[in-house]
A and B are shown apart, each in its own frame.
Chain A
């Protein structure tokens, strides 16, 4: 987002969504970079022993998807200042996750915006929900 576009941000505006498909390759790659090798995230038998129908995507990976959606929208002119999210439901291997956002508030000086963000699965269930504060860094 450029500085001129930033000036046009309005409350209620929806931001472009981001769709991700959860693959085993991605879960393994995420485990490698995050160091989270909890077998719930890659071992189907272990997940079953914990009463789960499939391996579970890392919550932090979905948080990273939400951050990606925000940075795609915000561009280099502003940055993520705060993030507050809750992991409400599991995302499983094979799920299609759609990251969504809607502007909740624009500060009076137009230097920051609060965005309601969420990730929903292919059944429309919101699995991760929260808010983000973006701050404009430009002149």
Chain B
């Protein structure tokens, strides 16, 4: 794949890159809480915002995994618009906002929107991924 994915992303700036469906299950919430070490009882039935931030990034990571550059996270901007609870289904839309190359650094800006089963926008976020060439 090497740099092909970068070329592909440049071609779809402003468009949807990925669409992924998730089911919010209590087992997933438990595993997430355990991984973070956040055992707040609220997260037994409600998805913590930090979990929602991870949805979709698995697919992004997979597609960038074969690049020779180091894949680094630059920044996160997130707005929570509604709660997501156990039993909800969430559709994640990953859109390419911008791809910028500057010397040894490539920055990919992604807009990620999460909608529940009623098509209600529950979260909007912007993730900046930096690809850094290494010696």
- Chain A contact residue count (CB 8 A cutoff): 38
Would A40 and B38 count as touching, CB distance under 8 A?
no
A3 CA / B71 CA spacing, docked (Å): 42
User: B interface, how many residues as a size bin?
Assistant: 35 or more
Would A63 and B36 count as touching, CB distance under 8 A?
no
Known contacts A80-B80, A81-B80; is A35 also within 8 Å of B58 by CB? yes
Tell me which of B2-10, B48-56, B93-101 binds A: B48-56
Would B75 and A85 count as touching, CB distance under 8 A?
yes
Would A61 and B61 count as touching, CB distance under 8 A?
no
Question: Taking the complex as formed, is A29 at the interface, i.e. its CB lies under 8 A from any CB of chain B?
Answer: yes
A residues 76-102 near B (Cβ < 8 Å) are: 76, 79-87
Would B50 and A38 count as touching, CB distance under 8 A?
no
**Partner pick for B79 among A63, A72, A81, CB 8 A cutoff:** A81
A130 CA / B37 CA spacing, docked (Å): 22
Would A36 and B35 count as touching, CB distance under 8 A?
no
**Partner pick for A71 among B31, B40, B57, B74, CB 8 A cutoff:** B40
**Partner pick for A38 among B37, B49, B61, CB 8 A cutoff:** B61
Q: Which residue of A lies closest to B58 (CB)?
A: A35
Question: Taking the complex as formed, is A60 at the interface, i.e. its CB lies under 8 A from any CB of chain B?
Answer: yes
Contacts of B65 in A (CB 8 A): 37-38
A85 CA / B125 CA spacing, docked (Å): 11
Contacts of B23 in A (CB 8 A): none
B118-135 near A? 1/0 per residue, CB < 8 Å = 000000000000000011
Would B76 and A76 count as touching, CB distance under 8 A?
no
Known contacts A26-B35, A34-B54; is A79 also within 8 Å of B80 by CB? yes
Least Cβ distance of A13 to chain B in Å? 21
Known contacts A82-B78, A86-B75; is A72 also within 8 Å of B40 by CB? yes
Would A84 and B61 count as touching, CB distance under 8 A?
no
B56-86 near A? 1/0 per residue, CB < 8 Å = 0111011001000011111111111001000
Contacts A87-B75, A87-B76 known; 8 new A-B pairs at CB < 8 A = A33-B35, A59-B72, A60-B50, A60-B73, A68-B36, A80-B80, A84-B77, A85-B76
On A, residues with C-beta under 8 Å from B are: 20, 26, 29-30, 32-38, 40, 49-52, 58-61, 63-65, 67-68, 71-72, 76, 79-87, 130
